[in-house]
Amino acid sequence: MPVIEFAKQREYGVIINTYGSGGMGLSDNIEETYRLGADGWIFFTERALENKGEVLQQPYPVVLGGDYLSYGKCDQVTMPNTEAVRFAVGRLLDTGVRTIAVIGASPDMHGWEDVRDQRDGTQSLRIQGYVQAHEERGLTVDWRYVIPLLGWNQHGGVQAAASMLDSLPCPQSVLCLNDAIALGAIHELQRRGLRVPADVQLIGFDNVPESEYSVPALTTIDPHVDDYAKHAVDMLIERIEGYSGPARTYTTDFTVVERASTKLAR
Amino acid sequence: MPVIEFAKQREYGVIINTYGSGGMGLSDNIEETYRLGADGWIFFTERALENKGEVLQQPYPVVLGGDYLSYGKCDQVTMPNTEAVRFAVGRLLDTGVRTIAVIGASPDMHGWEDVRDQRDGTQSLRIQGYVQAHEERGLTVDWRYVIPLLGWNQHGGVQAAASMLDSLPCPQSVLCLNDAIALGAIHELQRRGLRVPADVQLIGFDNVPESEYSVPALTTIDPHVDDYAKHAVDMLIERIEGYSGPARTYTTDFTVVERASTKLAR
């Protein structure tokens, strides 16, 4: 938890309140934040905020994390979701790969019209990058290879890879929208006798510790989570200590960490 | 975080206070628990409690988790550390395996006399099981294969496996004291051209989701973490709701989940 580390370096303590994670939205947790009486809160949200972010207008300092709009109501840290995927998919396309599956779409994404106008959301932003990389090269996306997935974990990766291979020819490459999905997908591909990367290349997203030690080691998009956490903490503490300027957005940089699951390295 | 899930099922919220994790001990956090005003606390500790657990005598309900003694001061949940390792190592020995390395010892464990009398601590309790399995079969432990490790993560597993193989013949089997270590060790063994399980069998501890999807999938000791969390929550809520009987200890059961990294299955 880098937020805890960076807060400690600044001599602040961290309270984590998870009540309501999952079933309920952020607005249901606001009352609890008053009871716990922290100097400020970093809200991580995994769903869109209703009411155009009014929940973010609190009497205490707030920084928003997650891939959803803050509507300019508070400081925000984000990842370069679209740009990072666009770059990584572009790298694959530029080496001559033509069939790239993407695992981790929402079940309601059946074509570009379902994604194009979305302004937030992890899946939408990343899939936009996937499509843009194709469009920039005059290539058409085969939407059969945009594979939906509900559980963003290893088991979900196994199931999505299995259902893809049961109904479609094996793609030349697979981009998984997080590393856990990718580790499941690698497992299922190899279980079926497909060689990674000789038969199918794989890229994940997150650069979790496990990605370095999978067999083969996983190429992945590193969204610089430490930098993300550091800026969330720094912006919050600035507000706590009196800064009252307009709401800011900090977007991390990214790196494609090339390992053995792809043949990208020249 | 199963504690959160089980607490939610019982309609309790969960506050996590991590300030002081790492550098400071539990006693430094007690003041903070008053400020946060929860109905009770589950303390997880990764180090021995000083003062014979006086920190555990609080005016609010307390349940202790972790592998250290509560000195009968409060309810406690534990894992069967010694028994589970004894059983798993015994299984290997009973198939004829004779050289079993264990990765994850403390750097100060050089022989049985450094371990035998320890009454708590993850490493001590698990290494005791490793030695007992040998002793029960009239076998002698080769302490060169009790490999020390500070960082219980993938990187630590890589380094420990590397340093072992640089100085000793490859053992027939390796027990890693958690799955992260094992995933790093598998990676390093395979990088050196050793086949798992043909040349060397591996067992982990924890049954984390990654263990099912490593290549090869990891045999591991499952300490029933869900059951552990459920009992921690149940015991705490019983205290919150008025139960005032003597301090109880709940120890989970365990399962050896046999996967492709061993040849245990008949």
Among A195, A215, A259, A261, most B C-beta atoms within 10 A, so best to mutate, is A215
CA dihedral for B19, B24, B25, B31, sign (positive or negative): negative
Q: Top-level CATH class of B2-78+224-253?
A: alpha beta
Respond yes or no on whether the N-terminal peptide bond of residue A216 is cis (omega within 30° of 0).
yes
CA dihedral angle for residue A143, residue A146, residue A149, residue A155, rounded to 10 degrees: 140
Tell me which residue in A1, A19, A190 faces B13 most closely, judged by beta carbons: A19
Q: Which residues contact B34 (CB under 8 A, 6 or more apart)?
A: none
Q: Top-level CATH class of A81-222?
A: alpha beta
- Find the chain A residues whose C-beta atoms sit closer than 8 A to any C-beta of B: 1, 4, 8, 13-21, 23, 32, 35-37, 153-155, 157-158, 180, 183-184, 186-187, 190, 209-210, 212-215, 217
The CA-CA-CA angle for residues B214, A266, A178, to 5°, reads 35
pLDDT for the residue A36: 85
CA A32 to chain CA mean position, Å: 27
pLDDT bucket at A24, cuts 50 / 70 / 90: low
pLDDT digits (tens, 9 = 90+) for A74-124: 999 999 999 999 999 999 999 999 999 999 999 999 999 999 999 999 999
Q: Find out whether B60 and B37 touch, Cβ atoms under 8 Å.
A: no
The answer to whether A13 contacts B13, with C-beta atoms less than 8 Å apart, is no
A202 DSSP β-pair partners: A174
- By C-alpha distance, which of A265, A187, A184 is closest to A219? A265
Q: How far is CA B158 from CA B155, B206, B218, in A?
A: 5, 18, 15
The answer to whether A13 contacts B19, with C-beta atoms less than 8 Å apart, is yes
pLDDT for the residue A20: 53
What's the rounded Cα separation, in Å, for the pair A148 and A164? 10
The answer to whether A153 contacts B17, with C-beta atoms less than 8 Å apart, is no
The values of phi and psi at residue B264, to 5°, are -75, -40
Q: Which two tokens stand for residue B234?
A: 């149940």
Query: pLDDT at residue B209 above 70?
Result: yes
The values of phi and psi at residue A21, to 5°, are -65, 145
What's the rounded Cα separation, in Å, for the pair A32 and A35? 5
Q: Which residues contact A68 (CB under 8 A, 6 or more apart)?
A: A45, A47, A48, A49, A120, A121
A132 to chain B, closest Cα gap in Å: 32
Angle at which helix A2-9 crosses helix A225-240, to 10 degrees, equals 40
- By C-alpha distance, which of A252, A247, A251 is closest to A62? A247
pLDDT bucket at B223, cuts 50 / 70 / 90: very high
Q: Which two tokens stand for residue B216?
A: 């090869």
Q: Are strands A201-205 and A41-44 parallel, antiparallel or unpaired?
A: unpaired
Find chain B residues with C-beta within 8 A of A37's C-beta.
Answer: 35
Q: For A21, which residue in chain B has the nearest alpha carbon?
A: B4
The answer to whether A15 contacts B36, with C-beta atoms less than 8 Å apart, is yes
pLDDT digits (tens, 9 = 90+) for B56-107: 999 999 999 999 999 999 999 999 999 999 999 999 999 999 999 999 999 9
ipTM value > 0.85: no
The answer to whether A15 contacts B17, with C-beta atoms less than 8 Å apart, is yes
The CA-CA-CA angle for residues A226, A227, A231, to 5°, reads 120
Q: State the average pLDDT for chain B.
A: 93
For range B138-143, the mean pLDDT = 97
Q: Find out whether A92 and A139 touch, Cβ atoms under 8 Å.
A: no
The values of phi and psi at residue B151, to 5°, are -90, 110
For range A189-207, the mean pLDDT = 97
Of A17-31, A143-157, B26-40, B138-152, the poorest mean pLDDT is in A17-31
CA dihedral for A98, A264, A211, B198, sign (positive or negative): positive
Are domains B2-78+224-253 and B81-222 of this chain identical in fold? yes
pLDDT bucket at B21, cuts 50 / 70 / 90: very low
pLDDT digits (tens, 9 = 90+) for B233-242: 999 999 999 9
Q: Which amino acid is at B3?
A: V
For range B191-204, the mean pLDDT = 97
CA B148 to chain CA mean position, Å: 15
Tell me which residue in A4, A20, A157 faces B18 most closely, judged by beta carbons: A4
- By C-alpha distance, which of B230, B168, B173 is closest to B203? B173
Give the number of other CB atoms < 10 A from CB of residue B245: 8
Q: For B187, which residue in chain A has the nearest alpha carbon?
A: A213
pLDDT bucket at A185, cuts 50 / 70 / 90: very high
Q: Are strands B219-222 and B255-257 parallel, antiparallel or unpaired?
A: antiparallel
pLDDT for the residue B24: 61
Q: For A188, which residue in chain B has the nearest alpha carbon?
A: B213
The continuous run of DSSP H or E covering A55 comes out as none
Give the domain ranges of chain B: 2-78+224-253, 81-222
CA dihedral angle for residue B105, residue B111, residue B114, residue B118, rounded to 10 degrees: 70
- By C-alpha distance, which of A29, A8, A128, A64 is closest to B23? A8
The answer to whether B14 contacts A19, with C-beta atoms less than 8 Å apart, is yes
Q: Find out whether A92 and A138 touch, Cβ atoms under 8 Å.
A: no
Find chain B residues with C-beta within 8 A of A15's C-beta.
Answer: 15-17, 19, 36
The answer to whether B213 contacts A154, with C-beta atoms less than 8 Å apart, is yes
Q: Find out whether A82 and A116 touch, Cβ atoms under 8 Å.
A: no
For range A155-170, the mean pLDDT = 97
Q: What percentage of chain B carries pLDDT values higher than 70?
A: 97
Give the number of other CB atoms < 10 A from CB of residue A162: 16
pLDDT digits (tens, 9 = 90+) for B156-165: 999 999 999 9
Query: pLDDT at residue A23 above 80?
Result: no
Chain position carrying tokens 């798993």: B88
Find chain A residues with C-beta within 8 A of B260's C-beta.
Answer: none
